[in-house]
């Protein structure tokens, strides 16, 4: 540890145990997030087949309900995993996820979908998975392992954009929920049998208090940022499926024909930006430019929403910014947080993300019902502007690990 300079190559290489643990946990996280995301791109349209599905507020509540219970349970289950072990807590959480998915699959009411999503959210295991990664990796390579998980979120959402309409078109909304439950069962198997046993790390998770995190201004800025990002995402998808259907004549089963080229184009444009950010160490400017891009796209959408082509171009711009921020922000938490409470900091970060999901779904539905789709875009754009203002206040973003 005293000689970090000469050990560049060996110190930064993941051991076999670290590699296997990181890949298994990133896969578990990705499959779970895919199960949560699958409903987002299609539900605002597909819910019309359910009892109560024509009420935007009830649809928004069903869409974002899991975020509220995740936010409430994230820290308690993370602490329980410190006491009882990562594996049993994650297995318990994934059982709840499967049960919630089955409840959704068996109902024809949007209110019971809300109940099922609440049950899914009770299995909030993101903090426990993150802590398990911390247990399995040395500090020298931990940021790389965390980046696998951070990247898996963007990949999961990209897959959900394409798979969700295909599944609904082929099997209906009930079939989509059965697929979500199956993903939960896959996660259960990964947690039980495929993640290697590792000794639990106490230093990064336990020796800190919530006051440490809540008193760290840069971490608060990142927590506010992920809240805004997922609020905007959920609010946008209260409007986007219906808007694309109206302008392009797409039904819920064919929306993948729009989502696929949008997500492919956004990834092609996003990768050079992320590569440039990492190689040039320009994390703060990249964060600011991506948030500014969100504000511009969202502010322009009310003027573009009568043109299918311009809406698609705007969605590509949105997802370029979204994917950059989704990859960048967890990495920044890992860079900014002092080692003594990195695990707890990521727990609060996950909680803020879940609150954004809930607030975006519910308030997006309220805005659609009371003021129409344009107001969703305006409110989201204003939130992005506030986020930009807070992001400019970063004092330091370390480029090391």
DSSP, residue by residue, 102-136: HHHHT-SBHHHHHHHHHHHHH---HHHHHHHHHHH
Per the structure block, which two tokens stand in for 153?
A: 């979120």
Q: What count of residues does the chain have?
A: 401
Rounded to whole angstroms, how far apart are CA atoms 51 and 54? 8
Q: Say yes or no to pLDDT of 86 above 60.
A: yes
pTM of the model: 0.84
Rounded to whole angstroms, how far apart are CA atoms 345 and 219? 7
Greater confidence (292 vs 280) lies with: 292
Instruction: Tell me the per-residue pLDDT of 342-381, one tens digit each, with 9 for 90 and over.
Output: 667 777 888 899 999 999 999 999 999 999 999 999 999 9
Per the structure block, which two tokens stand in for 61?
A: 């509540």
**Position of tokens 């400017």?**
285
Q: Say yes or no to pLDDT of 160 above 60.
A: yes
pLDDT of residue 13: 78
- In sequence order, the 6+-apart residues with CB closer than 8 A to the CB of 254 are 165, 169
Q: Say yes or no to pLDDT of 400 above 50.
A: no
pLDDT of residue 76: 85
The dihedrals phi and psi of 399, each to the nearest 5 degrees, come to -100, 0
- Cβ atoms of 163 and 38 closer than 8 Å: yes
Closest CA to 81 of 129, 21, 30, 128: 128
Domains, the chain:
16-391 (1.20.1250.20)
Q: Say yes or no to pLDDT of 141 above 80.
A: no
- Segment 172-188 shows an average pLDDT of 95
């Amino acid at each position: 540890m005293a000689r970090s300079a000469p050990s560049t190559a060996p110190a930064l290489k993941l051991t076999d145990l670290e590699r296997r643990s990181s890949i298994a946990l990133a896969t578990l996280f990705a499959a779970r997030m895919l199960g949560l995301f699958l409903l987002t791109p299609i539900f605002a349209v597909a819910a019309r087949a359910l009892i109560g599905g024509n009420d935007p507020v009830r649809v928004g509540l069903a869409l974002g309900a899991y975020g509220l219970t995740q936010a409430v349970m994230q820290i308690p289950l993370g602490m329980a995993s410190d006491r009882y072990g990562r594996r049993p807590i994650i297995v318990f959480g994934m059982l709840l996820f499967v049960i919630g998915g089955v409840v959704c699959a068996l109902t024809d009411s949007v209110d019971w979908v809300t109940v099922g999503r609440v049950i899914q959210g009770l299995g909030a295991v993101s903090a426990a998975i993150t802590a398990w990664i911390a247990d399995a990796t040395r500090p020298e390579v931990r940021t790389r392992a965390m980046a696998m998980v951070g990247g898996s979120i963007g990949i999961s959402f990209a897959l959900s954009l394409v798979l969700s309409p295909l599944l609904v078109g082929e099997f209906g909304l009930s079939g989509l929920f059965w697929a979500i439950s199956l993903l939960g069962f896959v996660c259960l198997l990964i947690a039980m049998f495929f993640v290697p046993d590792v000794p639990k790390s106490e230093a990064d998770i336990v020796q800190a208090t919530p006051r440490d995190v809540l008193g760290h201004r840069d971490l608060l800025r990142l927590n506010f940022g992920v809240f805004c990002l997922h609020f905007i995402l959920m609010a946008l998808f209260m409007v986007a499926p219906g808007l694309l259907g109206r302008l392009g004549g797409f039904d819920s089963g064919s929306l993948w024909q729009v989502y696929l080229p949008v997500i492919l184009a956004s990834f092609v444009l996003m990768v050079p930006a992320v590569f440039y950010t990492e190689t040039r160490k320009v994390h703060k400017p990249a964060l600011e430019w991506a948030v500014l891009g969100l504000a511009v796209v969202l502010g322009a959408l009310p003027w573009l929403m009568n043109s299918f082509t311009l809406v698609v171009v705007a969605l590509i711009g949105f997802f370029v910014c979204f994917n950059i921020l989704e990859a960048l922000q967890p990495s920044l938490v890992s860079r900014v947080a002092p080692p003594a409470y990195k695990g707890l900091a990521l727990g609060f970060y996950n909680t803020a993300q879940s609150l954004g999901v809930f607030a975006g779904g519910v308030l997006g539905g309220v805005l659609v019902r009371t003021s129409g789709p344009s107001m969703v875009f305006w409110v989201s754009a204003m939130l992005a502007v506030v986020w930009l203002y807070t992001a400019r206040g970063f004092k330091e973003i370390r480029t090391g690990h």
